Amino acid sequence: MKFTKDHEWVRLEGDVATVGITRHAADALGDVVFVEVPDAGKAVSKGDGFAVVESVKAASDVYAPVDGEVIEGNAALSTAPETVNADPEGDGWFARIKVSDAGQLDALMDRAAYDQYLTTL
């Protein structure tokens, strides 16, 4: 699993990346009350907002960690946004993206580097 500075995680299996927000992000947001995930077929570019997460405190964009095309958005989140708080790095995934350049993941942080990054915030 790899991590971005904007607190997204990405797990690559074959050429498909599953993407979500980290435990740190979910905790910082507080109770999530609304999630908007992209539809299948949507083209995304690294760094662009591709989903929205809204908590009692704030609404935030979720940025695509890689270029690619959305295969599936996690539709379950629209009726059960609390899943993002309960299991952010598992059932609370946002989208599965067919990655166009797996090399882009090399620039992201691994768990140890991300944990180290969190201590600097």
Partner 1 sequence: MSTMNTVGRPTTPNQVETRPATLTGGRGLLQNEALIFEGDGWGKTGVDLPEPKGDASDLGDLVRKDPIGLPGLSEPEAMRHYVRLSQKNHAIDLAIYPLGSCTMKHNPRLNEKMARLPGFSDIHPLQPQSTVQGALELMDQLAHWLKTLTGMPAVALSPKAGAHGELCGLMAIRAAHEASGEHEKRRKVLVPTSAHGTNPATAAFVGYTVVEVAQTDDGRVDVADLASKLGDDVAAIMVTNPNTCGLFERDILEISRLTHEAGAYFYCDGANFNAIVGRVRPGDLGVDAMHINLHKTFSTPHGGGGPGAGPVVLSEALAPFAPAPWVVSDGDGFRLIEREEEDAAQAFGRLCAFQGQMGMYVRALSYMMSHGSDGLRQVAEDAVLNANYIKARLSDLMSAAFPEGPCMHEALFDDEWLKGTDVTTLDFAKAMIDEGFHPMTMYFPLVVHGAMLIEPTETESKAELDRFIEAMRALATAAKAGDVDRFKGAPFHAPMKRLDETRAARAPKLRWTAPEGSNLAAE
The smaller minimum CB distance to partner 1, of residues 28 and 105, is found at 28
Burial of 42 (0-12, 13-18, 19+ CB in 10 A): middle
Residues that bind partner 1 (CB under 8 A): 31, 33-34, 54, 56-59, 81-82
Burial class (CB in 10 A: 0-12, 13-18, 19+), 8: buried
Distance CA 75, CA 97 (A): 14
Q: Is 117 helix (H, G, I), strand (E, B) or coil?
A: helix
Nearer to partner 1 (CB atom), residue 49 or residue 90: 49
Nearest distance from C-beta of residue 56 to partner 1, angstroms: 5
Nearer to partner 1 (CB atom), residue 73 or residue 81: 81
User: Minimum distance from CB of 103 to partner 1 (Å)?
Assistant: 25
Q: Which is nearer to partner 1, 1 or 52 (CB)?
A: 52
- Minimum distance of partner 1 from residue 71's CB (angstroms): 25
What is the C-alpha separation between 47 and 56, in angstroms, rounded?
Answer: 25
Residue closest to 46 by CA, chosen among 88, 4, 109: 4
Minimum distance, C-beta of residue 53 to partner 1, in the bound complex (Å): 13
